[in-house]
Structure 1
Amino acid sequence: MKARKLLLATTLALVMAVGTACGSDKADDKAVRSDGSIDLSQVTLHAGDQKGTGLQALLTAAGELNNTPYKITWSQYQSGPPMLEAINAGAVDIGGVGNAPPVFAAAAKSAIKIVNGYQGGTEGQAIVVPKDSPLRTPEDLRGKKIAVAKGSSAHHHLLAVLNKAGIKWDQVEPQYLQPPDALAALTTGRVDAWAIWDPYTAQAEQQSNARILVSGTGYVAGDAFFVAGTKALESKATSAALRDLIARIGRAHNWVNDHPEEWAKTYAELTGLPYDVILTVVKRGRYQNHPLDPAAIAAEQDVADAFAGAGLIPGKVNITDFTDTRFNDLFPAS
Structure 2
Amino acid sequence: MRRRLVPAAALLPLALLLTACGGNSSASTGTGTDGQGSVTLNVGDQKGGSEAVLRAASELKNLKYKIKWSTFTSGPPLLEAVNAKAVDVGGVGNTPPVFAAGAGSDISVVAAWHGTSKGDAILVPNGSKLTAPDQLKGRSIAVAQGSSAHFQLVASLKAAGLSPADVKVKYLQPADALAAFTSGKVDAWAVWDPYTSQILETKRGRVLTTGDGITNGLTFQVAAPTALRDKKKSAAIKDYLDRLRRAQEWVYDHQDDWAKVWAKDTGLPYEVALASVKRSNSSRVAVAVDKPLVASEQQIADAFTRLKLIPKKVDFARFIDTRYNGGLPPSTTPARG
TM-score for the superposition, normalised by structure 1: 0.87
Alignment-derived partner of residue 160 in structure 2:
165
Provide the aligned length of Structure 1 versus Structure 2.
Answer: 313
Q: 1:310 Cα deviation (Å)?
A: 2.2
Alignment-derived partner of residue 61 in structure 2:
66
1:9 and 1:54 map into 2 onto residues whose CA distance is 15
Summarize the alignment of residues 223-302 of structure 1 with structure 2, pairs less than 5 Å apart: 223-285=218-280, 286-302=283-299
2:73 and 2:93 map into 1 onto residues whose CA distance is 13
2:267 and 2:15 map into 1 onto residues whose CA distance is 5
Q: Which moved more, 1:145-154 or 1:309-318?
A: 309-318
Unaligned runs of 5+ in 1: 20-38
Asked if the contact 2:44/2:89 (under 8 Å) is kept, the reply is: yes
Aligned with 1:325 (options 316, 322, 326):
322
2:36 and 2:110 map into 1 onto residues whose CA distance is 20
Alignment-derived partner of residue 36 in structure 1:
none
Alignment-derived partner of residue 38 in structure 2:
42
Change (3 A) 1:312 1:11: closer
Q: Does 1:194 align with 2:189?
A: yes
Give % identity: 50
Cα root mean square deviation, aligned? 2.2
What amino acid is aligned across from residue 37 of structure 2 in structure 1? S
Aligned with 2:169 (options 160, 164, 174):
174
Aligned with 1:6 (options 11, 15, 32):
11
> What's the CA shift string for 1:2-50, capped at 9, x where partnerless?
625423147649871579xxxxxxxxxxxxxxxxxxx962111221222
Aligned with 1:138 (options 121, 133, 148):
133
1:49 and 1:153 map into 2 onto residues whose CA distance is 17
> What's the CA shift string for 1:40-81, capped at 9, x where partnerless?
621112212224x72221111111112322221222222211
2:70 and 2:251 map into 1 onto residues whose CA distance is 23
What amino acid is aligned across from residue 45 of structure 2 in structure 1? D
Q: 1:222 Cα deviation (Å)?
A: 0.6
Q: Which moved more, 1:188-197 or 1:105-114?
A: 188-197
Change (3 A) 1:71 1:4: farther
Q: 1:171 Cα deviation (Å)?
A: 2.0
SS at match of 2:317: helix
1:194 and 1:119 map into 2 onto residues whose CA distance is 24
Change (3 A) 1:4 1:75: farther
Alignment-derived partner of residue 27 in structure 2:
16
